[in-house]
Structures are given as structure tokens and as C-alpha cells.
């Protein structure tokens, strides 16, 4: 009796459909060198739910495998690996998030949710600024330093704690083993270079156009990631200067917080603009359609954080500082609060997937 590999959607769940498609890919192996997904899947012939969760979070949705595949529609197998793994990936984030309902809400109504939160929190900070401190310069003339610390430290640490719980559950689900330093270094190297966004042969991916290889998506991701890290380092350096050396803001242009923060903000803004443009050009059928709005909201929110931060710096010494400070702080807080539920969490899960992959035995080479 032959095995029926034709699609049965919508009868199959997202995991079931991904399993059907991955089993066909594992038999073909034409795309074996495209990214970390394909060598990883050669370790087994049958795939548990945890295996599919791991493969889905290794996938960077570069879409090269789809355009190279001979079994896409109108073939009866109707393979669409990027979309199938995207659905499993998003489902894993939603399932492992706490609370799950908030994650599902953001994925489906991300733009409206982020916009309303920014507006509400901007009003809160604007009202709070009415209680101006008796002393302070720059931003601290509008909001006291201790007030900002009391508000933002819990808003930053609580989401990180929720993400840590989600990652613990992810590690158990995918069967992650003991983590060694070599595994961490290998995963960090892959994440830092984003090599999986450059296709299997280093020519680039096909994200926005099937017959065009490009590294633009990789470049925009790197601009966003390293820009964000520079901005975080700017804040961290300011904190050290404040508490360790008693050097209080505002800081001059040629100071560490500004030398890190201004280029970081520009890089984030450029990365957000590029990623949003590519997303508008890309075929939505090759991703998780239902979360398109949530993914775009995340990109726009990152860009808005960078834009308002740069505008706030440019407005130094003017009457626009008060309202711009309220808007910027609100957007930063929304970014923090939504970390466990927005696509911001993908960085944590993808790094965990790369660490787990580094700790697994070498893939079996060659088709059988």
C-alpha cells in the first residue's frame, strides 16, 4: 500500500501540515544546504511535535526553498515550507507565552494594540510630567530620575522573566540537552552574522522576489539588531555614569551615551524602514498570513521608538521636549511590555533553537 502524501488541509493542524511537508522534503533533500533547517531534519525519518517546533524556529523565512522546490502548487504535494513552518513557529510563541490570550491578541491586532498603548501611556507620562521635580536638567527637568527608574525597571524585568519561563518550556519541548560554552559560542556566531538569511549558497535570499537573490533583508535585520544593541548600550553606559561616577544627564554629543545612542537610533530607523518595505513587497502567502499585522506593528514600533528618540535629542532645549519625552517613553514602555507577545520574542526563541541545534549530533548526510 502506498503512502498518501497529498495535502488534506484544512483537516490537518498547523503541526500536522508541517509534518506532512517536512517528510516529503526529507525524502527529496534537494534543498539540503539552503539553511539550518534542512540538515537538521535529516536526523530522523519521523518527526514529533517538538521536532517540528525546533525546525520552525530554526527557519528564517528566507523563502529560497519554496522558489527552488519542484513540488509546490500546482503539484499535488502543494509544498509551501516557509508558510508551514511560519504557522508552527507563531503557534509555538503563542502556546508558550504567558498569558496566551495576550499573545494571540497582539498577533492578530498588533497595530491597533500598540497604537492604543502608546497613546494611553503617552497621556500617563504627560500627566506625570505635570508634577515636575524641584531640580533637574534636560529630561530630568520633566521627570525625576528615580521616578523613571521605578517605572521602567519592573516594566523591563517582568517581561524578561515571562520570556525566561517560555524558553524553559521551549527547551523541554524540543528536547534540548546540556548547554556547553561551545554551543553558546556557535549559536552566537550564527546569530551575529545572520548567515541563515543569506541563503544556502551565500547569494542572498528570495524574500521579496522569487527570481532575485538579495542580502537586503539580512542587512536590514543587522541594522535593526545592532542599532538596538547600541541604544541599549547607550542607556547602560548612562546608568553606569550616573550611579558609579555621579555624572548626570544631559550628556554632550561627544559622550559615550550619545556616541552609542545616536548612531544606534539611525540604524534602527533605517532597518525598520527597509524591513517594512520588504514586507510590503513580499508574498504574504509564504508566511503566516494571520499575523501579518502583528509583525508589521512590531517593525513600526521599533522604528517609532528610534524616531522619537532622535527627535527628542534634536529638540533639546526647546519647548517640544516635554511632549516628545512623553511619547518616546510611552513607545519604549510599550516595546518592553509587549516583548513576550510581539515578534520581539523571535530573537530569544531563534537563539535557543540555534543553541539546541549546536548541541545535537551531526546530521546524517546524503539521501537514502
Residues 83-123 have pLDDT tens digits of 999 999 999 998 998 887 777 777 767 677 777 778 877 77
Domain co-membership, 30 together with 176: no
Based on the domain organization, do 190 and 222 belong to the same domain?
yes
CATH number for the domain that contains residue 307: 1.20.950
Domain ranges, residue 153: 98-358
- Is residue 6, in this structure, part of any structural domain at all? no
242 belongs to a structural domain: yes
Count up the domains in the chain and report the number: 2
In percent, the amount of the chain with pLDDT more than 90 equals: 45
**Whether 231 contacts 264, CB under 8 Å:** yes
> In this prediction, what percent of the chain has a pLDDT beyond 70?
89
The domain boundary, picked from 63, 93, 123, lies at 93
Compute the Cα dihedral for 82, 88, 92, 93 and give only its sign: positive
Rounded CA separation 267/298 (Å): 16
Q: Which of 78, 93, 108 is the last residue of a domain?
A: 93
User: Same domain, yes or no, for 51 and 120?
Assistant: no
Q: Phi then psi for 77, rounded to 5 degrees? A: -70, -30
For position 83, what pLDDT does the model report?
A: 95
Same domain, 27 and 113: no
Residue 115 lies in a domain: yes
Position 31 in a domain: yes
With 60 as the cut, is the pLDDT of residue 366 above it? no
Mean pLDDT of 159-186: 93
367 belongs to a structural domain: no
Q: Are residues 233 and 339 in the same domain?
A: yes
Rg (CA), the chain: 22
Domain assignment of residue 343, yes or no: yes
Among the listed residues 291, 310, 311, 303, the one whose alpha carbon sits nearest the alpha carbon of residue 331: 303
337 in a structural domain? yes
pLDDT at 144 over 80: no
Nearest to 249 by CA among 142, 154, 132: 142
pLDDT at 136: 57
**Does 203 lie in the same domain as 339?**
yes
Three-state helix/strand/coil letters over the chain: CCCCCCCCCCCCCHHHHHHHHHHHHHHHCCCCCCCCHHHHHCCCCCCCHHHHHHHHHHCCCCCHHHHHCCCCCCCCCCCCHHHHHHHHHHHHHHHHCCCHHHHHHHHHHHHHHHHHHHHHHHHHHHHHHCCCCCCCCHHHHCCCHHHHHHHHHHHHHHHHHHHHHHHHHHHHHHCCCCCCHHHHHHHHHHHHHCHHHHCCCCCCECCCCCCCCECHHHHHHHHHHHHHHHHHHHHHHHHHHHHHHCCCCCCCCCCHHHHHHHHHHHHHHHHHHHHHHHHHHCCHHHCCHHHHHHHHHHHHHHHHHHHHHHHHHHCCCCCCHHHHHHHHHHHHHHHHHCCCCCCCHHHHHHHHHHHHHHCCCCCCCCCC
Report the Cα 3 to chain-centroid distance in Å: 38
Same domain, 153 and 279: yes
- Between these two residues, 126 and 223, which has the higher pLDDT value? 223
Same domain assignment for residues 87 and 103: no
User: Alpha carbon of 26 to those of 180, 224, 286, 366: distances in Å?
Assistant: 29, 34, 20, 10
pLDDT in the model for residue 7: 46
d(CA 252, CA 204): 40
Residue 18 has pLDDT above 80, yes or no: yes
Task: Among 65, 93, 121, give the residue marking a domain's end.
Answer: 93
Based on the fold, state whether residues 124 and 190 are members of the same structural domain: yes
The span from the CA of 129 to the CA of 142, in Å, is 5
The overall average pLDDT reported for the chain is 85
Residue-level pLDDT at 199: 67
In a domain, 203, yes or no: yes
pLDDT of residue 365: 54
For 148, counting Cβ atoms within 10 Å of its Cβ (0-12 exposed, 13-18 middle, 19+ buried), the class is middle
If asked whether residues 299 and 201 sit together in one domain, one would say: yes
Q: Which of 116, 132, 129, 29 is CA-nearest to residue 337?
A: 116
How far is the CA of 169 from the CAs of 13, 99, 185, in angstroms?
21, 14, 22
Give the confidence band of 324 by pLDDT, cuts at 50, 70, 90.
confident
65 and 178 assigned to the same domain = no
Q: Are residues 69 and 105 in the same domain?
A: no
Handedness of CA 188, 352, 159, 108 (dihedral sign): positive
**Distance, CA of 111 to CA of 292 (rounded, Å):** 10
Whether the CA torsion 223, 228, 229, 234 is positive or negative: it is positive
Amino acid at each position: 500500500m502506498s503512502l498518501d502524501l497529498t495535502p488534506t488541509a484544512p483537516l490537518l493542524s498547523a503541526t500536522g501540515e508541517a509534518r506532512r511537508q517536512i517528510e516529503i522534503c526529507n525524502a527529496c533533500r534537494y534543498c539540503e544546504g539552503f539553511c539550518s533547517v534542512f540538515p537538521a531534519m535529516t536526523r530522523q525519518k519521523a518527526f514529533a511535535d517538538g521536532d517540528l517546533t525546533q525546525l520552525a524556529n530554526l527557519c528564517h523565512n528566507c523563502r529560497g526553498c519554496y522558489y527552488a522546490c519542484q513540488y509546490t502548487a500546482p503539484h499535488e504535494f502543494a509544498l509551501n515550507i516557509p508558510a508551514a513552518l511560519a504557522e508552527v513557529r507563531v503557534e509555538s510563541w503563542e502556546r508558550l507565552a504567558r498569558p496566551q490570550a495576550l499573545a494571540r491578541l497582539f498577533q492578530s491586532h498588533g497595530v491597533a494594540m500598540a497604537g492604543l498603548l502608546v497613546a494611553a501611556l503617552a497621556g500617563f507620562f504627560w500627566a506625570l510630567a505635570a508634577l515636575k521635580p524641584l531640580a533637574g536638567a534636560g529630561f530630568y527637568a520633566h521627570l525625576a530620575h528615580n521616578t523613571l527608574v521605578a517605572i521602567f525597571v519592573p516594566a523591563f524585568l517582568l517581561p524578561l522573566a515571562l520570556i525566561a519561563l517560555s524558553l524553559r518550556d521551549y527547551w523541554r519541548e524540543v528536547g534540548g540537552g546540556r548547554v556547553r560554552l561551545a554551543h553558546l559560542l556557535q549559536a552566537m556566531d550564527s546569530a551575529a552574522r545572520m548567515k541563515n538569511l543569506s541563503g544556502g549558497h551565500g547569494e542572498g535570499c528570495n524574500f521579496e522576489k522569487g527570481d532575485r537573490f538579495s542580502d537586503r533583508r539580512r542587512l536590514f535585520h543587522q541594522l535593526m539588531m545592532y542599532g538596538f544593541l547600541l541604544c541599549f548600550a547607550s542607556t547602560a553606559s548612562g546608568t553606569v555614569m550616573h550611579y558609579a561616577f555621579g555624572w548626570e544627564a544631559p550628556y554632550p554629543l561627544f559622550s559615550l551615551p550619545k556616541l552609542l545612542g545616536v548612531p544606534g537610533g539611525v540604524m534602527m530607523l533605517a532597518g525598520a524602514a527597509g524591513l517594512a518595505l520588504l514586507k510590503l513587497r513580499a508574498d504574504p502567502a509564504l508566511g503566516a498570513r494571520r499575523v501579518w499585522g502583528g509583525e508589521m506593528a512590531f517593525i513600526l514600533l521599533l522604528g517609532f521608538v528610534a524616531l522619537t528618540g532622535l527627535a527628542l535629542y534634536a529638540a533639546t532645549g526647546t519647548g517640544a521636549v516635554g511632549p516628545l519625552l512623553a511619547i518616546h517613553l510611552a513607545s519604549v514602555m510599550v516595546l518592553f511590555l509587549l516583548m513576550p507577545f510581539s515578534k520581539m520574542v523571535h530573537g530569544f526563541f531563534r537563539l535557543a533553537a540555534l543553541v539546541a541545534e549546536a548541541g545535537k549530533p551531526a546530521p546524517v548526510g546524503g539521501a537514502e
